[in-house]
Structure 1
Amino acid sequence: MGAKFPPISRKIPAFMHGADYNPDQWLHDPKIFEEDIRLMKLANCNVMSVGIFGWAALEPEEGRFEFGWLDHVLDTFAENGIYAWLATPSGARPAWMSQKYPEVLRVEANRVRNLHGMRHNHCYTSPVYREKTAIMNAKLAERYSNHPAVVGWHISNEFGGECHCGYCQEAFRRWLRAKYSSLESLNQAWWTAFWSHTYSDWSQVESPAPHGESMVHGHNLDWRRFLSDQTLDFYKHEIKPLKAANPELPCTTNMMDLFYGLDYRSFAKELDVISWDAYPTWHEAPSDRDVASWFAFNHDLFRSLKHKPFMLMESTPSLTNWQPVSKLKRPGMHRLSSLQAVAHGADTVQYFQWRKSRGASEKFHGAVVDHIGHEHTRVFQDVADLGRTLAGLAELVGTPVPAEAAILFDWDNRWAVNDAQGPRNCGIHYEKTVMQHYRALWGLGVPVDIIGANDDLSGYKLLLVPMAYLLRQETGEKIERFVRGGGTAAITYWSGIVDENDLCHLGGFPGPLRKTAGIWAEEIEGLYDHDRNSVHMRPSNQLGFEGSFEVRELCELIHAETAEVLAVYGGDFYAGRPALTRNSLGDGRAYYLAARVSDDAFYRLFYGKLVQEAGVRRAIGSTLPDGVTAQLRSDGDTDYVFLLNFSGREAQVEMDMGGYEDAETGAAAAERVELPANGALILRRRAN
């Protein structure tokens, strides 16, 4: 991977640094805005997201628009070298709209319509809501699409939720007709002969309901797909007038960490740049390793959606007000967590919020400017210091992350595996499983992409396939070609079970991966929480490490067909049967792990060997202390290595070579790097 990507906006050829700003909450006191401009400059902030939830201020009565306050904000920004992501205000509707047009309010799964209130309590299918949104967005586009301060459009805010109103029921049926063409095809795909649920008329089809249908898995899966598509359709409806006015101005919407309800891969096709909101629960344990690796996975996921730099649209400069415990960031953590996003491909660091609200539910949420209203706070100084750091790293903007390893992660697989009534209905822990495998690569300092079934595999050397329960035939064939071509695949239990309609593959599991893995999975056993088994590495196995490792929750009983057995079960009636295998196919290899090993030590050893065997690039070649990671960005000529210490204590890293220099100071780096607790260091070297 070589040259840089262009900056997100040509107006800011540097890191964007700023926050969500709500001047509409302070219109009663103009001095607040004057002071905010001074403080923005002092904090080294160059961009603000403006207008989120501002509908009532922009249209206080139906048809009466008030843009004077926003004119003043944007004009003042332009005069002071500050830029804006201008939001469409559709994340919450004004009270007059709910009162006059109650159809805009959502209907829950129990078929009861909501009252006015909250955010995103509106129907994305409602003709009235779509009409009002189109009017508002057209006026914003006409007035501001060529404003010198505006760098892009921030569409709505954290899309999500579902509506079961009559409009949505009809839209769902239209969606199904377009997909299946006939009721016969739908009945076959959903296997409605089960419990005599065959449909004889399209009008009989409704969304899943707690007091109706909820046990047809294909039905549940298609409803989730429809909700995601309908939300995306609303996004596309929002941007039409914006793109008509200025097609060059980028559009984005802020996503959330591994959000369950929307398939962000489909969104990525329509967004000009990916942005998301990250709110880690730091300092819950002595080591922040697990929290850090979870958010590293998310950073990698959002970067991989378009395979280019993304935006950290929201993070908190101090604490939140909605987590179970609102913990303050310890010294160093603001810089560390922000640079973590940069290390994984972010070209912005932005916050919620700029100034703390005075009232309502977010009045105690962290902000750059506290209620005291001045710059003499610890948090403000942390933000200002980071702003200076980012300003000095403009050369990093646009650099890719050169990943040679990838993890397969698809939303419809996630929905299907969590809906499956199978071996562990008390918790099959799909997401935790994905993270357990990812965390091993994170601890090795391996750059990783998080990819979907439709992504190209040709640039990777190592592919992780954890719990690919829903696996299309064509995806299985693609993975087989990857292995035959010289790639290494690591596949786990509960893979290749159902097709895209949630119908079981026939002819033996793991279905389309059976030849690739060289095994047949005959049965899978769910273990009670107190149950334990073990995996014993065979002496002199091809991976070159030995030992016994604890197993919990899931054990698959497999037959090695063309695969070699590397490890066996240690207990129960299947003691001695294969638990880990390797199959040679073409020029590559496929490993199959049949049980959920609970020991992190196993994954470190296992993936350490696979990374070495496949020749996968690491950020540095040294062994990293537990809780410390190394991440890499590179433009092909210069590598930027981030050493990030989430261990909660001081740590030392032995460097693998000379020639490193501190990217901030230009000083030569020592052979042994000392990292304080919550320490972060950016090193620069010639690309290798």
Structure 2
Amino acid sequence: MSSVTPRFPHLLHGGDYNPDQWLDRPDILEKDIELMKAAHINCVSVAIFAWAKLEPEEGRYEFGWLEEVIGNLYKNGIYTVLATPSGAKPRWMSEKYPEIRRVDGSGKREESGKRHNHCYTSPVYREKVKAMNTTLAERFAKHPGVILWHLSNEYGGECRCELCKAAFREWLKKKYGDISALNKQYWTDFWAQTYNNWEEINPPTPRTMWGADPIHGLCIDWRRFVTDQVGDFIKMERDAVKAADPSIPVTANLMYDFYFYNYFKWRDILDVVSWDSYPVWVGNAKGDVEEAQNHALWHDVMRSIKQKPFLLMESCPSATNWQPVSRLKRPGMQLAASMSAVGHGSNSVQYFQFRKSRGSSEKFHGAVVDHVGHGDTRAFRDVAEVGERLELLDKALYNSEVRPDVAIVFDTENRWALDNAQGPRNCGIHYAEAVRDQYRALWQMGVPVDIVDEESDISGYKLVLAPMLYMLRAGFEEKLKAFVKDGGALVGTYHTGLVNENDLCHLGGWPGGGLRELFGIWNEEIDGLWDGEENSIITEDGKSYRVTELCELIHAEEAKVIGTYGSDFYKGMPAWTVAEYGKGQAYYVAARAGVDFYSDFLGTLVSDLQCKRALPGEIPFGVEACLRETDTESFVFLQNFTGEPKTVALPEGCTDMRTGQPAAKVELRGYDSVTIAKNIK
């Protein structure tokens, strides 16, 4: 396995550090290093928003202060993740070159100030970023303390200036070739929307983006174009810093549930995936367990993009200042949340921020060091505890991986299409929630999971879950058929195989694209239920499961019926089927079932298929069990996301890594985490 940070092959512990805000206080900079050591911090991310300090005037670079900071950190055993500062351009640049500022959906160019408001297409901005990155890399790439490039910060947003419109039209020309092909795929005869030439095409506006614009293919293509355009900007940043030393990897910090870009498209652009995780803890067991599951899913998304360990680039040591309610973490929660990230494949725990800003919009955002300026705080002690735990695990864990037998298809472009489709439930189609329901069932069983998209290779799994595959793209139907034919188990659901990649409906019966043959069913129509309405799936042995929102009326053609509807005019019709296909099985669930259904159903499948689990027995409610492996050892991470103590039974041969002693069970306090080692050879 290739190292995430080859210059410093260890688990990283640190966070965003902004010495540029404190250059007039050398006493604070000196104190910071003392506090970093006390918190067991071994790396910090520097210069993320420091462009005004690095280039105070056009063409005049001031890197002396940064060199001194990086040098002092390195002398004290603290490494640097060095950022490119493109996330926030300096005011002088914004005023001198107004074209670099974005144009919003109403056609208005944004004012100077703030961050993340630059045009990714602008040749001027690209030139300025490339010059900065090149100069920065030439100065610091050979410094032994620099271990990773952090490109920009939380890439986001879109621009609709004339440059972006022109680039979008060129992107469409490359995809479709001629305007008649585009018209056919967009079905523009509807409402007389036919394009006569490329210049008539404009991006959808935010007002028409979701559903109101009749050209759904255009809306999806705009999202694809924006993803590609930002990806091209990232490549430009990457290539500029790697020109000085290709051996230093690059990363960019991605975001939670951020589906305006398709992150999977960047799998070959970034060397390392990192992301920023900020759960909204609510302070009760049910809510906190669900939030832990939500962020576990996104840890798995980030790991799965490159199928290798990722980095937790930002988390909060105490409370944020931007959530609806800035709830403090309960005692112990910092350790539990941090070890959850590591258990799902992170090789770091890092924070925003190390020292609190004194002013502006993040002055009340949590930090390792509060305004009081010393380490005698609860948040600081919690961070130090995480650092100690990472040091304990470092040697054994660094080269371990998460190696699941199970994958869930969670495709961003499919999500765009579903949100734009207009029907059958405009009050909520709930694709992401359907994915989470299946994921939560597996989480409760301690089953490791990869999250894949329709461009991923699925051939190596035993079980693939593919909920609501409304849009079939990039030949994915052939991958599904090959997977099942070779012996895999596939679970599909309602609202699958309706349209192609440009949102044109398949003809000849749903599910289209050859999936009708695979699942052995025909979906004749679908019933949308009002909120509060429900039906049920009745199994062969008489067990009943509640279903809501959407119920397909399907006909079993080659499939065996294993569950039927319990009420309404379609009572007794198939609701749950299985079809033999080659050496495998394709299951189809025709209605929106809940976690209880998937816990029972997937529990049986996981057992029958002998899929990996972190622990063989039942796991208490609210306890997460994650599994990382090497070729000779397995490591089980147990996190208790409830405030109540829990006891977890362990199989034979387990060792508590805190004590080095054999353990037959683990006693977990509320919001506690323990890591268990077990030899597998």
Could you tell me how far 1:492 is from its partner in structure 2?
0.6
**C-alpha distance after superposition, 1:629-687 (max 9, x if no partner):** 211111020010112212332222222x21100122211112x3222111211111112
Distance 1:78 1:161 in 2: 35
Asked whether the equivalents of residues 653 and 673 of structure 1 are also in contact (C-alpha less than 8 Å), the reply is yes
The answer to whether 1:516 aligns with 2:518 is yes
Which residue does 2:80 correspond to in 1? 84
Alignment of 1:482-493 (within 5 A): 482-493=483-494
The answer to whether 1:588 aligns with 2:581 is no
Alignment of 1:322-471 (within 5 A): 322-394=322-394, 395-471=396-472
SS of residue paired to 2:464 = strand
Could you tell me how far 1:284 is from its partner in structure 2?
4.5
Which residue does 2:7 correspond to in 1? 11
Asked whether the equivalents of residues 634 and 687 of structure 1 are also in contact (C-alpha less than 8 Å), the reply is no
Which residue does 2:187 correspond to in 1? 191
Residues 53 and 210 of structure 1, relative CA distance in 2, 3 Å threshold: closer
Which residue does 2:241 correspond to in 1? 242
Aligned length: 675
Distance 2:415 2:230 in 1: 19
RMSD: 1.3
Could you tell me how far 1:6 is from its partner in structure 2?
3.8
The answer to whether 1:667 aligns with 2:661 is yes
Could you tell me how far 1:409 is from its partner in structure 2?
1.5
Which residue does 1:642 correspond to in 2? 637
Asked whether the equivalents of residues 13 and 348 of structure 2 are also in contact (C-alpha less than 8 Å), the reply is yes
Give unmatched runs, 5+ long, in structure 1: 540-545
**C-alpha distance after superposition, 1:452-476 (max 9, x if no partner):** 2222222100000011111137211
Give the partner amino acid of 2:44: M
Which residue does 2:260 correspond to in 1? 261
The answer to whether 1:204 aligns with 2:200 is yes
Asked whether the equivalents of residues 285 and 641 of structure 2 are also in contact (C-alpha less than 8 Å), the reply is no
Could you tell me how far 1:530 is from its partner in structure 2?
2.3
Could you tell me how far 1:533 is from its partner in structure 2?
1.3
**TM-score, normalised on structure 2?**
0.97
Asked whether the equivalents of residues 473 and 499 of structure 1 are also in contact (C-alpha less than 8 Å), the reply is no
The answer to whether 1:561 aligns with 2:557 is yes
Distance 1:255 1:215 in 2: 31
Distance 2:596 2:207 in 1: 46
Distance 1:611 1:455 in 2: 22
Could you tell me how far 1:10 is from its partner in structure 2?
2.8
Could you tell me how far 1:551 is from its partner in structure 2?
1.5
Which residue does 1:543 correspond to in 2? none
Distance 2:653 2:268 in 1: 40
Distance 1:591 1:430 in 2: 18
Which residue does 1:531 correspond to in 2? 533
Residues 212 and 402 of structure 1, relative CA distance in 2, 3 Å threshold: closer
Distance 2:172 2:459 in 1: 34
Distance 1:284 1:198 in 2: 54
**TM-score, normalised on structure 1?**
0.96
Distance 1:455 1:260 in 2: 17
Distance 1:67 1:581 in 2: 65
Asked whether the equivalents of residues 347 and 398 of structure 1 are also in contact (C-alpha less than 8 Å), the reply is no
**C-alpha distance after superposition, 1:568-626 (max 9, x if no partner):** 1111111111111111112111110011123x221111110111122211111101122
Distance 1:209 1:268 in 2: 28
The answer to whether 1:119 aligns with 2:115 is yes
Distance 2:165 2:222 in 1: 10
1:602 corresponds, among 579, 583, 597, to 597
Which residue does 1:504 correspond to in 2? 505
Asked whether the equivalents of residues 566 and 572 of structure 2 are also in contact (C-alpha less than 8 Å), the reply is yes
Residues 190 and 630 of structure 1, relative CA distance in 2, 3 Å threshold: same
Could you tell me how far 1:398 is from its partner in structure 2?
2.3
Could you tell me how far 1:34 is from its partner in structure 2?
0.5
Alignment of 1:85-100 (within 5 A): 85-100=81-96
* Greater CA drift, 101-110 or 216-225: 101-110
Give unmatched runs, 5+ long, in structure 2: none
SS of residue paired to 1:511 = coil
**C-alpha distance after superposition, 1:534-582 (max 9, x if no partner):** 111122xxxxxx5212211111111111111111111111111111111
Alignment of 1:193-232 (within 5 A): 193-209=189-205, 214-232=213-231
Could you tell me how far 1:430 is from its partner in structure 2?
0.8
Distance 1:682 1:234 in 2: 40
* Greater CA drift, 271-280 or 678-687: 678-687
Asked whether the equivalents of residues 455 and 474 of structure 2 are also in contact (C-alpha less than 8 Å), the reply is no
Asked whether the equivalents of residues 309 and 398 of structure 1 are also in contact (C-alpha less than 8 Å), the reply is no
Distance 2:523 2:140 in 1: 60
Distance 1:581 1:372 in 2: 62
- Give the percent of matched residue pairs that are identical in Structure 1 and Structure 2: 52
